[in-house]
Amino acid sequence: MSNTYQRIVLASRPDGEASTSNFRLENVPLPAVGDGQVLVRNHYLSLDPYMRGRMNDGKSYAQPQPLDQVMIGGTVGEVVESKHPSYRPGDKVVGMGGWQQYHLADAKQPGVLRKVDTSRVPLSAYLGAVGMPGVTAWYGLVRIIAPKAGETVVVSAASGAVGGTVGQLAKARGCRAVGIAGGPDKCAYVVDELGFDACIDYKAHAGAKSLAAALKEAAPNGIDGYFENVGGSILDAVMMRMNAFGRMAFCGMISGYNGEPIPMAHPQLILQSRLKVEGFIVSEHMDVWPEALGELGAMVAGSRLKYRETFAPSLADAPEAFLGLLKGRNFGKQLVKLV
């Protein structure tokens, strides 16, 4: 084991669109392990859209990412040294290890590390389908949309780690699942591999009215539940097709992550259709994680929940992969391979 490791810190805050110049790759000494601490060799790093919001120095649901500090991020890896009785070298763990090859965790703090079983679920899946994205999908669908069998659920960014799970969980509950994704390849994946009933390529439509017409065809009985990841004209189109008393779970608004305003064309539809609109942050609902992870893990282990992963080959490639994620260049869950 080397005496140094690589990490990526936030070097500057973006002015509008983020760029690779906002990040800095550093070589630093390995830390000494103190009482109650655990040193983890990170195997995979998760890249997620929420990181873009944390790069800004503005009011949000979480504190901004500090400058010159390791970029925040979920990781899975292996314990290499431990001075805590609950962890041994070789244990596979998930935590918020950040954009770095190793991280030192204070295992005395509850929730900092969680041991995982890789005998039936691959290690990388604990950052996707059986991790934060999966629980995000589960909470928004089960607790906010609360679908009933026979209803229609629509999800944007349907080929992504969250959206793909939403549709499969909806299908498992007897619903019609309709996805919205960018490009024919992603739509084919959503229908042919993930099992959605239909998928609309938003890139094939010039605006909200055209997209709403496509939704009318894909969801002839209207939309009862909508899982929002994008915003903009996609949201406008969906609102035109929402049934009375429909439920909308707002998870992400990736169309405005660079600071652009996101106008809503027909807000009166919230009143006219008596819609329930609720935004949520999954880390504020830790009480549901055991139930959600139990269902998600069983589905992955039983090959009833499918997913796709895109891997950046090294830590140095993380910034470019992250910027690609924000533009929809990835396919499925975006990860960085660190070993």
Q: What is the CB-side half-sphere exposure of residue 47 using CA atoms within 13 A?
A: 30
CATH of the domain at 322: 3.90.180.10
Phi, psi of 80, deg, nearest 5 = -110, -25
Taking only the tens place, the pLDDT of each residue in 295-313 is 999 999 999 999 999 999 9
State the pLDDT at residue 63. 84
Whether pLDDT at 257 is above 70: no
Taking only the tens place, the pLDDT of each residue in 149-174 is 999 999 999 999 999 999 999 999 99
The residue type found at 81 is E
Does 158 lie in the same domain as 66?
A: no
Q: What is the mean pLDDT of residues 77-99?
A: 98
Query: Are 315 and 77 contacting, i.e. CB atoms less than 8 angstroms apart?
Result: no
Range of the domain at 215: 132-283
Indicate the number of domains in the chain.
Answer: 2
**Domain for residue 289, yes or no?**
no
Q: What is the mean pLDDT of residues 99-114?
A: 95
Does 58 lie in the same domain as 16?
A: yes
CATH of the domain at 194: 3.40.50.720
Does 152 lie in the same domain as 102?
A: no
Does 65 lie in the same domain as 138?
A: no
Compute the distance between CA of residue 130 and CA of residue 168 in angstroms, rounded to an integer. Answer: 13
Model confidence at 328, pLDDT cuts 50, 70, 90, reads confident
**Domain for residue 251, yes or no?**
yes
Does 218 lie in the same domain as 274?
A: yes
Model confidence at 80, pLDDT cuts 50, 70, 90, reads very high
Q: What is the mean pLDDT of residues 103-121?
A: 95
**Which of 252, 265, 251, 236 has the alpha carbon at shortest distance from 326?**
252
Determine what percent of the chain is predicted with pLDDT higher than 70.
98
Q: What is the mean pLDDT of residues 56-77?
A: 90
Does 156 lie in the same domain as 275?
A: yes
